[in-house]
Amino acid sequence: MKAIEESKISIVIFSENYASSRWCLNELVKIIDCKKTMGRKVLPIFYHVDPSHIRNQTGKFGEAFGKVKEKFKQSLDVVEEWSTALTEAANLSG
């Protein structure tokens, strides 16, 4: 997380399975937080996924995210942070 804070730019590569990784989702929350609080640049790359699938958590991307949501259903606040960060990142120009 310190490396993310110290970076001037973050490149996020979204794929169909991106949302299946709790690690990636936690990093994305940090990246979006740094964008908001420190003005860091974020460049999303959409690799074989449509930004709308990330924004709305649909398609194969949504299926992967659904599995993680089910696994962490006891931590709704964390899941909500992930969902919000995904939506915000998908709204950026890539």
Alpha carbon distance 3, 41 (integer Å): 14
Q: Of 69, 71, 75, 50, whose CA–CA distance to 61 is shortest?
A: 50
Residue-level pLDDT at 93: 79
In angstroms, the first-to-last Cα distance of the chain is 23
Considering the chain, what percentage of its residues have pLDDT values greater than 90? 96
Alpha carbon distance 38, 36 (integer Å): 6
In this predicted model, what pLDDT tens digit does every residue of 9-42 receive, in sequence order?
999 999 999 999 999 999 999 999 999 999 999 9
Catalytic positions are: 27
24 φ/ψ angles, rounded to the nearest 5 degrees: -60, -40
In this predicted model, what pLDDT tens digit does every residue of 34-72 receive, in sequence order?
999 999 999 999 999 999 999 999 999 999 999 999 999
Global pTM value: 0.92
Residue-level pLDDT at 73: 87
